[in-house]
């Protein structure tokens, strides 16, 4: 699970596991500062990555996170799927675009997870998703899943996507 700070990575992991507080959540961006691994069914790990793009993190810490995440995404052979999370309310940032281009360029299997759907009205969904697709220049056939950690919207779809990417 990758994405900018505060996009809702940790919250989504909790929602997916149906448990509160497994992954630490905070209204203060920059909460997750390490790679946190959650072993699921003794079969695979969900990995909660530190968020990018949060200005208040000291520059040397930021650099260290960047390196850690980049090494992880670039070199991890058994990484099956990268989920890039973007907030439905905002056009993707420059860093979101860079992250997406990185995934697309290296051919990492990936999906876009749109978070916090509960924050806007349903009638606005498609308009916002269109902006996200266009700004990231999302490749055709890239799965895009709309989610909310408040309502559990998208949870089943997300598990299905993950399942498709696990080795049988």
Point out which residues bind Mg ion (CB under 5 A).
9-10, 31-32
| Residue 120 contacts residue 89 (beta carbons within 8 Å) | yes
Backbone angles phi, psi at 9, to 5 degrees: -65, -50
Site string for ligand GTP, 148-167 (x = CB under 6 A): xxx-----------------
- Cβ 134 to Mg ion shortest distance, Å: 27
Residue with the shortest CB distance to ligand GTP = 51
Alpha-carbon distance values, 24 to 80, 84, 168 (Å): 23, 18, 30
Contacted entry of Mg ion, ligand GTP, none for residue 27, CB cut-off 5 to 8 Å set by kind: ligand GTP
Binding mask 12-51 for ligand GTP (x = CB under 6 A): -------------xxx-xxxx-----------------xx
Part in contact with ligand GTP (CB under 6 A); list of ranges 7-15, 37-45, 130-138, 156-164: 7-15
In angstroms, the CA 8 to CA 137 distance is 22
What phi, psi does 45 have (nearest 5°)? -110, 140
For 6, 25, 27, 130, 158, the CA distances from 14, given in Å and listed in that order, are: 14, 9, 15, 27, 13
Q: Which residues sit at the interface with ligand GTP, rule CB under 6 A?
A: 3, 5-11, 25-27, 29-32, 50-51, 115-116, 118-119, 148-150
């Amino acid at each position: 699970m990758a994405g900018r700070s505060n996009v809702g990575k940790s919250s989504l992991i909790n929602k997916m596991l149906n448990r509160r507080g497994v992954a630490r959540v905070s209204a203060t961006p920059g909460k997750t500062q390490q790679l946190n691994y959650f072993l699921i069914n003794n079969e695979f790990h969900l990995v909660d990555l530190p968020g990018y793009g949060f200005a208040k993190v000291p520059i040397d810490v930021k650099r260290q996170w960047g390196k850690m995440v980049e090494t992880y995404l670039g070199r991890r052979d058994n990484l099956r799927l990268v989920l890039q999370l973007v907030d439905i309310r905002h056009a993707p940032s420059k860093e979101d675009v860079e992250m997406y281009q990185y995934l697309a360029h290296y051919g990492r299997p990936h999906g876009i997870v749109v978070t916090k759907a509960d924050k806007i009205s349903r009638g606005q969904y498609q308009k916002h998703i269109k902006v996200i697709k266009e700004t990231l220049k999302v490749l055709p056939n890239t799965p895009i899943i709309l989610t909310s950690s408040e309502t559990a919207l998208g949870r089943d779809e997300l598990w299905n996507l993950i399942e498709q990417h696990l080795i049988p």
